[in-house]
């Protein structure tokens, strides 16, 4: 590992896949692009590979973004259910009602 690399975009490669953000995908893209520039000459194969990698990174970005949105939707739903439960508990506690078992 090079000096200062722990604060560089390469850190994104060390994260768990479920902890990645869209910014991490951009960092990964930057590192791969930088490395491709180091090896790229005039070879057409490298150019073709670069376009395929860019396409995979675009798909990866979409998946990470969709996962993060889904996670946020689940958190919002959880919070809504907690609020409903608290409301039901407070209403039930404020009423003097008895619950009888079904016949």
Taking only the tens place, the pLDDT of each residue in 5-24 is 456 788 888 888 888 888 88
CATH architecture of 9-73: Up-down Bundle (1.20)
Tell me which residues of the chain have a pLDDT lower than 50.
Answer: 1-5
Q: What is the DSSP string of 42-59?
A: S-HHHHHHHHHHHHHHHH
pTM of the model: 0.53
pLDDT at 4: 43
Radius of gyration of the chain measured on its C-alpha atoms: 25
16 secondary structure, DSSP code: -
Q: What is the pLDDT of residue 85?
A: 92
State the distance between the two ends of the chain, measured CA to CA, in whole angstroms.
72
Predicted pLDDT of residue 33:
82
Query: Cα–Cα distance between 61 and 35 in angstroms, integer?
Result: 19
Q: DSSP class of residue 101?
A: P
């Amino acid at each position: 590992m090079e000096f200062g690399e722990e604060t560089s975009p390469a850190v994104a490669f060390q994260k768990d896949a479920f902890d990645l953000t869209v910014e991490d995908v951009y960092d990964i893209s930057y590192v791969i692009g930088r490395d491709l520039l180091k090896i790229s000459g005039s070879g057409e194969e490298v150019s073709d590979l670069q376009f395929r990698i860019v396409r995979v990174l675009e798909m990866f970005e979409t998946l990470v973004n969709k996962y993060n949105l889904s996670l946020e939707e689940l958190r919002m739903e959880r919070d809504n259910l907690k609020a409903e439960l608290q409301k039901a508990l407070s209403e039930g506690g404020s009423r003097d009602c008895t619950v009888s078992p079904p016949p």
